[in-house]
Every structure is written in structure tokens, then in C-alpha cells.
Amino acid sequence: MTILTLSDVSLAYGHLPLLAHVDFQIETGERVCLVGRNGTGKSTLFRVLSDVAEPDEGEVWHKDTLRISHLEQEVPVDTSETVFEVVAFGLGELGQILADYHNAVHHVGSAEESMETLSALQHRIEASDGWNINQKVETVLSRLSLPADKLIKDCSGGIRRRVMLARALVSEPELLLLDEPTNHMDITAITWLEEFLLSFQGALIFITHDRTFLKHLATRLIELDRGTLTSFVGDYDHYLRKKEELLDIETRANARFDKKLAEEEVWIRKGIKARRTRNEGRVRALQALRVARSQRMEVQGKANLNVDTGDMSGKIVVDMRHVSFNYDEHCIINDFSTRIIRGDRIGIIGPNGSGKSTLLKLILGELKPDSGQVVTGTRLQLAYFDQNRAQLDTEKSVRDNISEGSDFIDVKGRSRHVISHLRDFLFPPERIDSPVKSLSGGERNRLLLAKMFTQSANMMILDEPTNDLDVDTLELLEDLLTDYEGTLVLVSHDRTFLDNVVTSTIVFEGDGRVNEYVGGYEDWIRQRRISDISTKQGNGKPDKEKITSQEKSKSTAGKIKLSYKENTELTGLPEQIEALEQEQQALEKQISGSEFYQQEKEIITTTLARLEEVRMKLHYAYERWEYLAGIEQ
């Protein structure tokens, strides 16, 4: 059943048409993903759908009782309101009464609250039949595991995002509009949100740059491009194919049009004799062609991302040796060791607040470990992308953030005009003197990339670089980082981005445990699943705990001799260890060469996976040899 319809809707801000004669409808139970470049008007379309903005022309139809909730892109700023208050305010005036009652209950007996105040609020709730509504607020807080009495200003970005989602859900909407719902959420929260929305009974329209999230949820895609809304039934891969076909058709049609216009312009410019005998109908047709060409909206260009890798760093970039770090009594990192080699591309995964940014600051030298050592290599040229964009001065203009008022900047050792550089990052000339505070989230991210890429860097540290970027720019950033010859360390919750860019992952697994795995996100999930199965079934190699328990059980049994099988195993272990050590040395020598990362991605991944496997086998062989040799003695 159709619950909302747009008919011939148009809306423009100034000379820029964001919606041009748009037709659209959504059915009950549909999950529609709205895609399009940053600045095309996706958020504006959401405001039209939720009756916040009126179109210049056309009609928006839905039944008067349709409940629509809108989760906006920005998280709430620091306020002294509690989580309960923010969620309850989604119910309007009644929500305000419920919030007042909730606070009064917690302060009854104090100087500022009295039993009379509490009684008055109770009567108002009863008169509005609000107790059932209060139960809905408490239920949604429980389902989203939100602390009702915590102040918003004390919540992380991920918690604030869930608070706003709770506010959108408390009214039990029939149509839910989500603008970048995965921003500021960690992978665990994103996975939970996917499962929740798959069971959501109403209709859903969402905007996202997270391609994995899109693929798991969307039943249909609609694209907003130059004011036109086009529907694509099918999955994301089908959309990409059809989009390519449509752009190819448009390019060929524009080429034929431009050829015809050029021919007519040549004709009209012929000599005086030709003009005396010219066909007035042909002149009018030419005028129409000129008007049509002036009104054509070209496809927005793509960002041009390049980075200068500068001089080659030393082979060892960062060596972390038994590093531990605590905040007060909370253990963030416990006895973590790793070695980052020149050319490594490492992703860092973990829940919000687990310590990912802390690890980056330890690598950068901004924090010192409580114990252990962080040794950095030689000839390092660092570029750092801060997820909070602290490197941008929001009061200054776009130009001044890049060039400090100068018209020229140095890029790759050459002088370049600031307008030309910013155009590569999709900033038109008329935007370069705009204050940064007027930019959207995606524009600020592009500006920070533009600022970062003016410097030479043989090591890049990126903290959540994908937030707010449209998919086209995101894919270009992927291509850049894949071809980047320096060392890369990045934090991201974008699963597809991790799989396409990194060759190993460092994972925060709770209680200070930090482990490293070969490959990207999906590789980590697969390795974790195999480990869980092995643990449950008791198969595979025993770990330290298993070996320790074996030692204890045998020691309690008195003198135990090795079996024939164990004797044979002990005899062969030195030769096995020697072979593994030789293979490990050969693999490490192979990957240390600069040409190693110029090979096919599959070869790189396979080699690194084999190296990790050899290391694990060697570790177990030493453990097993020590255990069997101890029994023999």
C-alpha cells in the first residue's frame, strides 16, 4: 500500500535546482536507500518528505495521521539534558511533561521538588492518558541499552546517535527517515542497527555511505542527481551497472547535441549573403539549441586525490614492545607488541571508547605508555587525519585553512594556485572564501584531505576518514590508498573500506586485549569464527592455557613417561622448528622489498597470510617442544 507520494515536486535554493519535477512514492515495508553526491539535496528531500520544507511546485501527499520520524545527520551538541529528556521530547508537549515527571521522581524530597509538584504532574499525565506513552519511552531506552539519567554532554558520539534514533522510534513511526545513521557508530552498533532495521515493520528511507550497510538493508535504490530522482530496483551492484549505462547514453546524446549546435553556429556565422537568404525557422531552432545548452546541468566532476609519498622511510616504521596503557584504573592496552614495517597498511577495529585513538596517539608520540616502549623509525614524514577535524579553524575561510591567505601553495614541491588545488577536491571558486563553519560534514572532510595532501608523507595515520564522504569520493580515496606506496594506519568502522584497503587489522577485544590479524574485516571475522569453533570442539592446536592445564594434570599424576607417539613427535620437533624459521626468514625478506606491494593484491594477501600461519605454527612448535621436553626430564 502506498503511504506517501511526491507528484511533480520542484525546489530550488537561489539559482540551484535541488529538485526538478520529481515523482516518487513509497510502499509499506519498503527499505529504500537514497544515494547521490554530497550537496545534491538528499537532506533537503528528507525535509520535504517530513513536511519541514515546502516545495516550490508540486504536491506531497500522505494521510494526515501518517507518523513520520526523521533522524538527522548531525548528532546533538553538548547539553545538560538527560537521555530520557531528549528521547521524550520526540513526543512533543506530552514528552515534556513525562520528562518533568521523570526528573521530579529522582529529586523528590529535595529543596527544588515537592510532593505537590509531583502530584500535579501525575494529574496532567493521567488527563492525557500518558502512562502508556511513558512505558513506550522506557521500552525504547531498554531496547537500545541507553542510560536514562546520563547527561548528553557526557555521552560519546555513538551513544548520542542511538539517543536520536530512540527519539525517532518512540513515536512508533510508519515512515522512518535516517540520514547517515551509521556515523559515529562502531561496527558492533552498526551490526545491531542492521538487525533492528531488518525487523522494523514500517517503511524506511535512509541515506548512507556505508556500502555494506546498504547492501544488507536496501530493497530499492533511488538516486538524486542534478535535481532528478531515478529509481533502481535491485541490489547495489545492479545500480552501479545501470548507472554506468545511463551515463554512457547521456554522454553520447550530449556529444550529438554539441555537434549539431556547432554546425548551426558555423552556419549562422557565414557571410552577409548567407544571412540574407537564411531560413528564419532554422534561426529560431538555433536559439532553442542555445537555450537548451545553457540549461544543461553537467555531471559533477570527481575529486582528484593525489599524495606525495616523499622520501622513503626506514624499514621499521614503528616498533611497539610490550606496551600497556591505563586511564585511571581502566586498562586500555595490556602488554601489546607489534612491528609496523614500511609499506604496511593496517586497520584498527574496536568499539567506541575501546582505545583506538589512544593507540594512534601512542604511535604519534602524543601519549607515553605506562610500561613498554614505542620506538619510531627513521626519516618519517607523517600526515595525520583527525576525526574531530581539530586541524580546521571553523572561523576562517576555506582558502585560509589551506594557504593562510596566500594565492599559492606548495604541492609535491611545486607552486600551485589554491583555487586549482581546491577544485581537485570539488570546491568551486565561489566557495573558497566561505567560512568553514558553513560547510557540510562531507565538505569539511574533503577540506581536511585537501589540507593533508599538500604535504609530503611516507606515513599516513587516518582516524575515521570516511565519515560524511559520498560513495564516489570514498571509492576514489580507496583507490588512492591502495596505490599509496608509504605506510598506512587507519581507524574505520566502514567494513567495505577496510576490506578494500588494509592488509592486516589490529583489534581491540576488551579488557585491554589487543590482537593482530591478517587481512581486513571479513578476514578477521572468519579467523575469529574458526577460533571459536576450534575452542568449542577442542580441535586445532592447544593454546597456552591448554598446555598449562596438560602440565598440571600430568604433574599431579606423578611420574609420567612419554608415549611412543610423543617421543617421535619430540624427536622431529627441532627439524620442524628449523624449517619453519627458515621459511619465516624467507617470507619476511620477501615482504620487506619495496617491489612486494606492487604485486597483485591477491598475491600480497596470500603471502602475508602464509607468514602469519608460519608464525603461529612456530609459536606452537616451541610451546609443544618445551612441554614434551619437560615431561621427558
Of the listed ranges 147-161, 214-228, 513-527, the least confidently predicted one is 147-161
What is the band of 363 on the pLDDT scale with cuts at 50, 70, 90? very high
Query: What's the mean per-residue pLDDT of the chain?
Result: 79
Domain with CATH 1.10.287.380 in the chain: 541-632
DSSP 8-state code for residue 298: P
pLDDT for res 325:
95
pLDDT for res 378:
84
Residue 2: phi and psi, rounded to 5, are -75, 130
Mean pLDDT of all residues in 506-523: 90
Mean pLDDT of all residues in 496-509: 92
Of the listed ranges 76-80, 452-456, 476-480, the least confidently predicted one is 76-80
Mean pLDDT of all residues in 45-53: 89
- Is it the case that residue 441 has pLDDT exceeding 80? no
Distance of CA 30 to the CA centre of its chain: 24
pLDDT for res 605:
75
Mean pLDDT of all residues in 381-398: 81
Q: What is the pLDDT of residues 259-314, one digit of tens each?
A: 887 777 776 676 545 555 556 666 677 667 666 665 555 555 555 556 666 667 77
Range with the largest mean pLDDT of 98-112, 143-157, 265-279, 486-500: 486-500
- Is it the case that residue 188 has pLDDT exceeding 90? no
- Is it the case that residue 136 has pLDDT exceeding 70? yes
- Is it the case that residue 131 has pLDDT exceeding 70? no
> What are the start-end ranges of the E strands in 63-170?
68-71
| CA pair distance 464, 527, nearest whole angstrom | 24
Of the listed ranges 373-387, 405-419, 486-500, the least confidently predicted one is 405-419
CATH number of 316-526: 3.40.50.300
Pairing of strands 203-207, 175-179: parallel
Range with the largest mean pLDDT of 141-150, 287-296, 535-544, 620-629: 141-150
Q: Which CATH number fits domain 1-75+175-227: 3.30.1540.10, 3.40.50.800, 3.40.190.10, 3.40.50.300?
A: 3.40.50.300
What is the band of 507 on the pLDDT scale with cuts at 50, 70, 90? very high
pLDDT for res 615:
79
Contact 99, 79 (CB under 8 A): no
Strand, coil or helix: what is 321?
Answer: strand
Of 184, 148, 150, 170, the residue nearest 80 (C-alpha): 150
Of 415, 417, 450, 453, the residue nearest 436 (C-alpha): 450
More confident residue, 428 or 506: 506
What is the band of 554 on the pLDDT scale with cuts at 50, 70, 90? very low
pLDDT for res 512:
92
Q: What is the pLDDT of residues 50-63, one digit of tens each?
A: 888 899 999 999 98
Which H or E run contains 371? strand 371-376
| CA pair distance 48, 39, nearest whole angstrom | 16
Contact 474, 462 (CB under 8 A): no
Domain with CATH 3.40.50.300 in the chain: 1-75+175-227, 316-526
Q: What is the pLDDT of residues 62-74, one digit of tens each?
A: 988 898 988 877 6
Cell numbers given for 580: 619453519
What is the band of 121 on the pLDDT scale with cuts at 50, 70, 90? low
- Is it the case that residue 542 has pLDDT exceeding 60? no
Contact 204, 96 (CB under 8 A): no
Cell numbers given for 477: 580515496
| CA pair distance 327, 617, nearest whole angstrom | 35
Range with the largest mean pLDDT of 185-194, 341-350, 412-421: 341-350
Mean pLDDT of all residues in 550-564: 48
| CA pair distance 524, 528, nearest whole angstrom | 6
| CA pair distance 227, 295, nearest whole angstrom | 13
Q: What is the pLDDT of residues 193-217, one digit of tens each?
A: 888 888 888 899 999 988 899 988 9
What is the band of 551 on the pLDDT scale with cuts at 50, 70, 90? very low
Contact 540, 534 (CB under 8 A): yes
The amino acid at 91 = L
CATH class of 541-632: mainly alpha
pLDDT for res 14:
65
What is the band of 540 on the pLDDT scale with cuts at 50, 70, 90? very low
| CA pair distance 323, 156, nearest whole angstrom | 26
Mean pLDDT of all residues in 170-179: 88
